Amino acid sequence: MDAAPELVSPTVPPGRQLEESEEKALVQRAMMQITEPNRELLILLRYQEMKYEDIAALLGIGLGAVRTRVHRAMNELRDTFMKLRSNESSCNATK
C-alpha cells in the first residue's frame, strides 16, 4: 500500500516571522494613534470587511466621500507607522 504523500507547507524563516510580528505590533500601535474617525473607518473596512457602499450607507455619506476618507485614513496610518518604525530603529541603534 502506498503511503500518502506528505503535504509540505512553505515555512517562513524565523527571522522573517519576527519581522512580521513586529510590523503587526507597529500597525496596531499606529492604529491606536490615528484620529478616532479614521481608526473607525479602517476598522469597518479592514477588520469588519465592509464594502465601501455599506460604509457609505452606515455613515450616511456618498461613496466618493468614503473613498476620500479611506485614502486620507490610510495616509495617516502610513505616516504614523513610518514614524513609529523610525523611532524603533533609532532606539534599537542606540542599544
DSSP alpha helices (H): ranges in the chain?
Answer: 14-33, 36-42, 52-59, 63-93
pLDDT value at position 62? Answer: 97
Q: What is the pLDDT of residues 37-51, one digit of tens each?
A: 999 999 999 999 999
Between CA 92 and CA 68 the distance in angstroms is 36
Q: What is the pLDDT of residues 8-29, one digit of tens each?
A: 446 767 777 777 888 899 999 9
Are 43 and 34 contacting, i.e. CB atoms less than 8 angstroms apart?
A: no
pLDDT value at position 88? Answer: 81
Are 55 and 40 contacting, i.e. CB atoms less than 8 angstroms apart?
A: no
User: Is the pTM of the predicted complex or chain greater than 0.85?
Assistant: no
From the number of C-beta atoms within 10 Å of its C-beta (0-12, 13-18, 19+), residue 18 rates as: exposed
